[in-house]
């Protein structure tokens, strides 16, 4: 992919010849040219004028063009993969659907605030309700990142979204199953696979037992099941699927209860075949299929309906509650830091509960329940407890041993 040309911009002023000359450099699509001035004041004035000309030269570029260039630039610089960039591009285009043909210079701070207010209050087509706080706050972050980029590139002097404050308080984590409900979920999923050959039910329980993302499970191949089924390579380095981030690659141990069922899927399959099969289009099954499967299993098990991502959160909650180290839980989920795990996956109160349990273990409070041992008596107390004749005999013996020998 050819590298996009840099937008027109002005550099400097630079001091030269011991401060007797000042230079600015004007860069545009035709190249660059240097301008020299005898005083700093003249150089600054020329820089301002050249800057206005540069902004005018990029005027006429639509918001849609800027969004497309921004997402291409992120991929070229390795800031995100193509799939994530495509999703961000689609979200921004949906939000600004009626502004895509407008000149970006016409998007003022007042208009930006009105766009965010519309996003917060307008019902969505999917639910008929306004978006949740986490959703519109995420869209706002995307817009702020986009327009900070336009400022760095010289397309705008300032971002119209920079001073907008997000509203609402996002929910911490998704609704999760209780541990007893998770046991029923696993039992139902295994029964659906064992009795009906429901491969997607096994995919659902794999996501739960290994803490995998939906896309990670659906992109597993036969060759990813290694060491006789004891290891599973998630987002392997040699795979076409690179995962959500560079932290996604990992090799969790496969539980004994899951291993024989996964090995059953590999029978008669070539190494490059997908572990959980393909869709009718010849591509890995979609996340929507896994969502529908998790819903079916929940209904069959008689537990509240959750989504695949909630199963991943349950794994995180169980890991923290079991006393596992925070960085180990984050690494097992493919996170770069535990902050992401704690904020979006672990159920509220779990961390405090785990810390309390560890504190109780460290303090050994069981020992505090034992009756307190009496302190050893002092020498004076021992002497006072002796019979008088025994005490007189000890005193006489002490006098004899202390008299000088003649």
pLDDT at 79: 82
pLDDT 10s digit of each residue in the chain, 406 long? 445 455 667 788 888 888 788 888 877 655 677 888 888 888 888 888 776 666 555 556 788 889 999 999 888 888 887 878 888 999 999 899 888 888 888 888 999 999 999 998 888 877 788 888 888 888 999 999 999 998 888 788 889 999 999 887 765 556 778 888 888 999 999 999 999 999 999 999 988 888 788 888 888 888 888 888 788 887 765 455 555 555 567 777 888 888 899 999 988 889 889 989 888 888 889 889 999 999 999 999 999 998 888 887 777 777 666 655 555 555 555 544 445 444 444 444 444 444 444 433 433 445 444 444 555 565 566 656 666 676 667 666 665 655 554 4
Other residues' Cβ atoms within 10 Å of the Cβ of residue 158:
12
The closest of 308, 295, 279 to 216, measured between CA atoms, is: 308
- CATH of region 179-357: 1.10.443.10
Other residues' Cβ atoms within 10 Å of the Cβ of residue 394:
11
pLDDT at 370: 47
pLDDT at 189: 93
pLDDT at 45: 85
Ranges of each domain in the chain: 9-58, 63-153, 179-357
C-alpha of 380 from chain center: 68
Residue 292 CA to residue 299 CA, distance in Å, equals 11
pLDDT at 194: 93
pLDDT at 301: 93
pLDDT at 99: 85
Other residues' Cβ atoms within 10 Å of the Cβ of residue 289:
16
pTM, 2 dp? 0.51
pLDDT at 43: 84
Q: Which residues contact 226 (CB under 8 A, 6 or more apart)?
A: 232, 233, 251
Residue 303 CA to residue 186 CA, distance in Å, equals 11
Is the CB of residue 316 less than 8 Å from the CB of residue 323?
no
pLDDT at 347: 46
Is the CB of residue 167 less than 8 Å from the CB of residue 121?
no
pLDDT at 146: 93
pLDDT at 367: 44
Residue 287 CA to residue 308 CA, distance in Å, equals 9
C-alpha distances (whole Å) from 8 to each of 76, 213, 214, 365 are 20, 42, 43, 70
């Amino acid at each position: 992919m050819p590298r996009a040309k840099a937008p027109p911009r002005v550099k400097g002023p630079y001091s030269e010849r011991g401060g007797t000359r000042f230079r600015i450099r004007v860069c545009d699509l035709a190249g660059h040219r240097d301008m020299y001035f005898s005083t700093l004041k003249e150089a600054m004035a020329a820089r301002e004028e050249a800057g206005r000309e540069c902004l005018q030269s990029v005027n006429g570029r639509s918001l849609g063009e800027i969004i497309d260039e921004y997402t291409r630039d992120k991929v070229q610089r390795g800031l995100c993969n193509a799939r994530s960039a495509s999703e961000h591009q689609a979200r921004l285009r949906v939000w600004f659907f009626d502004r895509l043909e407008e000149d970006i210079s016409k998007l003022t701070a007042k208009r930006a605030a009105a766009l965010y207010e519309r996003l917060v209050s307008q019902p969505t087509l999917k639910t008929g309700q306004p978006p949740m706080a986490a959703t519109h706050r995420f869209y706002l972050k995307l817009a702020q990142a986009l327009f900070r980029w336009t400022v760095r590139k010289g397309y705008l002097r300032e971002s119209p979204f920079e001073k907008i404050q997000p509203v609402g308080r996002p929910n911490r984590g998704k609704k999760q199953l209780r541990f007893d409900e998770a046991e029923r979920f696993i039992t139902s999923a295994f029964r659906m696979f064992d009795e009906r050959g429901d491969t997607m039910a096994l995919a659902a329980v794999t996501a739960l037992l290994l803490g995998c993302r939906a896309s990670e499970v659906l992109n597993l191949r036969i060759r990813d099941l290694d060491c006789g089924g004891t290891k599973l390579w998630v987002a392997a380095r040699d795979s076409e699927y690179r995962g959500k981030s560079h932290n996604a690659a990992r090799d969790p141990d496969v539980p004994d209860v899951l291993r024989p069922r996964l090995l059953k899927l590999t029978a008669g399959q070539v190494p490059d075949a997908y572990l959980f099969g393909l869709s009718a289009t010849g591509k890995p099954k979609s996340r929507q299929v896994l969502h529908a499967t998790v819903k079916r299993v929940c209904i069959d098990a008689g537990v509240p309906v959750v989504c695949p991502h909630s199963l991943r959160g349950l794994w995180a909650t169980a890991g923290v509650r079991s006393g596992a180290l925070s960085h180990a839980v984050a690494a097992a989920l493919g996170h770069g830091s535990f902050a992401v795990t704690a904020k979006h996956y672990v159920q509220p109160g779990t961390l405090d509960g785990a810390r309390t349990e560890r504190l109780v273990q460290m303090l050994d409070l069981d020992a505090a329940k034992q009756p307190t041992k009496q302190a050893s008596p002092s020498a004076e107390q021992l002497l006072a407890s002796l019979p008088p004749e025994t005490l007189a005999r000890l005193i006489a013996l002490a006098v004899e041993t202390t008299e000088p020998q003649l």
